[in-house]
Structure 1
Amino acid sequence: MNKTLPILFAGILLLNACASTAPKPKSGDTFMLPDIPTAAAESSAIPYPDLNTMTQIERLGMQIERLEREMENTNQRLQQLEKQNKTPRHTNRKVPAQRLDDQKLKSTYLANGGTAPSEADSADQNETRLYNQALKYYQRNNYAAAAAVLKGADGGNGSESARRNMYLLLQSQQRMGNCESVIEIGGRFANRFRNSPQAPDALFSIGQCQYKLQQKDIARNTWRKLIQSYPGSAAAKRAAVSIKQR
């Protein structure tokens, strides 16, 4: 018992001595444990590179400058092409040999005292040639061939040969029974050559075709017009008989 008390007393003195040597916190200070970094904090703290606004603007500006240069080059190329197209191109084209021969013959003809045919004479000669050829087919009852030769005959320049061709075409179509063509060609012939001896016959043929196409009232009106316009013609007499019978 006597030995235990001194030892206990000595331990108490040792503890007091340690407590006195420890630093005391100042008034107002709090003791905080240090923060332990978490995984989320560490990940957010890692710096990742990203483009800032100025860098993006600089890149866009470079792209715009490149596009402007390309547009300028394209415009210059277009201007060059336009100038090339406007520039007349001189080609050394040779005159066909046939044309040279024709010119030589014409010069020789005029030098020998001949006169060059006019355009009207050339047209009449062509109309006469077509008429003679078509008339041969018509006389052989080959009306289709005659109509093919005279295809497009519309009175031309109003000459006598042009009138003959158009009326022969009308007769060929009538022989073949092409009433629509007869009505069309006959109407144009009667208007263009109204003073010709064949104009009354053309109107009578128109009335016949209109009647065949079941346009009976129109046909009667055509015949009445014929009688009124050419009262003394043989076609007018036939038209009067047709009106009475139909």
Structure 2
Amino acid sequence: MNKTFKSSFAAAVLAAFSLAPLQSQAALFEDEEARRAILDIRARLTNMQNEINAKADKTNNLDLNNQNEQLRQEIARLRGQVELLTNELANLQKRQKDFYVDLDARLSKLEPQKVTIDGKEVLMEQGEQRAYDAALAYFKAGDYRNAGASFYDFTRRYPQSGLTPSAQYWLGNTYYAQRDFKNAITAQQVVLKNYPDSPKAPDALLNIASCYMELKDRPAARKTLETLIAQYPESPAAETAKERIAALK
């Protein structure tokens, strides 16, 4: 009977020691894996405790005390592993919660924001303002080639942006600054065609008139200025157009 118990005890201890690597791997467990590991260890603890109770009547007291002490030590070790896994599970859940809170905050920053442009409330993506400002910075620095490329790229990337009429207008100005008057006229005509209600439309007409003057086409320049006055009589550009018409006489 004592041999039988020792054999059973050895098997129990061997099964218990097979759980030792759990401590080093605990940090790698996902939520559900950690829960399953904890439940498995607790089940083994219960079985080992039941084994002690079942064999209590079949062995002498001395052997039973020695064997029980060994099993109690192993049980204590397994309980320590349960505590470690429980703590790791709590930490994992906290890290997951912090991660999703941070992710939600980051995503909210990437969502389009409501802004007011030329008196209208529009939705604007995060990259729009930066791209527009970068293109305008090129223009102000006198780098008209890069400014033109950047404004052109902006109009293609953000065709529905509230800043696109202005980007198209400044694209025309980059051509004008490079004395490419034909392309300047074409670019400003896009403003008039696609964004006739934009505050940039009167300025686009004024720029077209300037291009015609540079091309020595005074009749076209005068006609453009007259169109500006007729269509946008209250705009500041219309006052400038009147002055230029007077100078043409």
TM-score of the aligned structures, taking structure 2 as reference length: 0.48
The higher radius of gyration belongs to 1
Higher relative CO (CA 8 A, sep ≥ 6), structure 1 or 2?
A: 2
Q: Which has the higher helix share?
A: 2
TM-score of the aligned structures, taking structure 1 as reference length: 0.48
